[in-house]
Structure 1
Amino acid sequence: MNRVFQVFISSTYNDLRDERQAVSNTLAKAGYMPTGLELLPADNQTQVDYIKRIIDRSDYYIVIVGSRYGSLSSDGLNFSEGAFEYARSKDVPILAFLSEIPEPDAELKDKLDAFKARLSAGGIVEFWTSENDLCMKAMMAVATAVNLKPRAGWIRGDQAVDPKVLQELERLRIENADFHQKLANLNRGSTELVPARSVDSVTVEFLVYRSEEGAPDTVSKSISLGDLFVGIYDQLLKSPSEAYVRELVGYWYRQKFRMSDYWELGEKSATVIRDRLEAMGLIRSRSIIAGFTNHIAWSVTEKGKQFLQSRR
């Protein structure tokens, strides 16, 4: 499904109207969905509620700061700083762009300087000197944020899938797999290709990366080798390296149990699984030298192909 990311663009209203519109047009042409201050209602309190609702629906928050602090609301902050505080409280990724154009006589300069200092202390900021410079940096910053901090985004209504439908499809898939397994056992005179499910389970360790920084957590989980083999079978047909298999197993487990974060199979556990699948006759491994590196590649055996047919 193609997702479109909504970007809230905030700034002081009148003095940065052209810059705000230029950034909005640039992001729209790049395929994003910009939104912001242009449709604010007249009443101040209604404006605050409107901004909060839009930020709640937005994936990223851009704040453009020029040479003016702007008019104050009832809490003593301008709308940009108030919106910034709300976006931060909702953990919406914030992209700040500060003007390098000096303005020593700006109204409320102390508040403006304090706001800039808070933005700079809160993360990486960009500095802009012209409208074109601002647009280019804003587009690059949003693209980077999408890659590093992907958000939910928006999808077309006709592409959305009801979670209940997914649950029912998964139930039918499991039921169908069990039926085919029983049918295959009957056709083979109850001679199974591999050990029963209770025998082919194994406890492995995953490396779970919960943030972009810091060491991963080590988590032990019991998995079915048969289920795992079926889950990554299509990729095994391409004879992947063991390093890539570790990523595949992590992705398979995360998708199967709807986990968040990034999961990767531990190196020792990959060796255990390889040995077990080879003992079951489902795969074979071989050492391959590529350039200056030596890695192990996995490939599916004929018995592995037969086993897959029995599970589908």
Structure 2
Amino acid sequence: MQNRKYQVFISSTYSDLVEERKKVLDILLMAECIPAGMEAFVATDVEQFEVIKKVIDLCDYYILIIGQRYGSINPDTGISYTEMEYDYAIKNKIPVLAFVLDEQTVLPDDKKENEPDKVERLKAFRAKALTNRLCSIWKNTDELVGKVAVSIMTAKETIERPGWQRGTDFDEASLRRTIMKLQEENENLKVKLNDAIETVHSFTEIKNVAFENYDVKIDYHYTPTGSYRRSGSIEKKLPEIFKVIATQMMDVSLTESAISDAIKSKYASITGCMVYFNDSQQIKVILNQLRALGLIYSSWSENAGKLYWGLTIKGRRYRDEMIVVKENVMSVDNTEE
């Protein structure tokens, strides 16, 4: 349709393909597309990947560029974030245009994978991408740019997508007022929902739920580069663990994985190493304890297909008591002698 623009997500490893990404961006702009992804959306952790999935959902096409690096690996899935993006696009039926670097191309060492495990994973990822009917092989940057230009123009003509079109038939001022009103109503509903959750909890309260005297012990392990597996443990009172979780939450809900990462970052951050909890059920036990105390609640997201955890009003009060800086008020005697 005339004046319609198509949003295109660009996925690849980053440091080894900086120049290629920039030139692909230029080509998409020349093709009157709206680029998404790029430097602003390079997934390096679970939370960023959750944001990226929402961006992919809004895109009309997905471009995958594979070089000779596999990229950062998600500790939960064991595959790279780039491959996770590709799998998500395929699962959600976003048309994928894949561009795989010729295996015979010679690159500098800093642009190649040197870890044997990642080399094998990259090989498998390449093989999977090559099964895509819209996949091309490229040998240099110029060839990549040319193939992207042809592929995106062909895709626009042969694969119908909704695209984006300038809105002209609306009163902008009225629309803004409506949005502000809906946002206000949404916030009020959130407060009422949390109040309802807390009220229900008060009727089903479990007696004598431990908090102040609950000793939490979480065993973990990690493997330094070139060394053997090592172990460690986190030993804290439950209120200290809650403080970490609640501070990370603020006004957002988090997945169990994000909560685990927050605890690891606070108490088990090992430079250059991925840390793994020995007992995968331990975090669930902690979250259930905090829920029984009425400090947090859980909600299932149909869109994301995930369980999220957030603070109740009681939980926010406890958090604020823990972290809010209070003035040191001194008593002054103004009695005249």
TM-score normalised by structure 1 residue count:
0.48
The structure with more radius of gyration: 1
TM-score by length of 2: 0.45
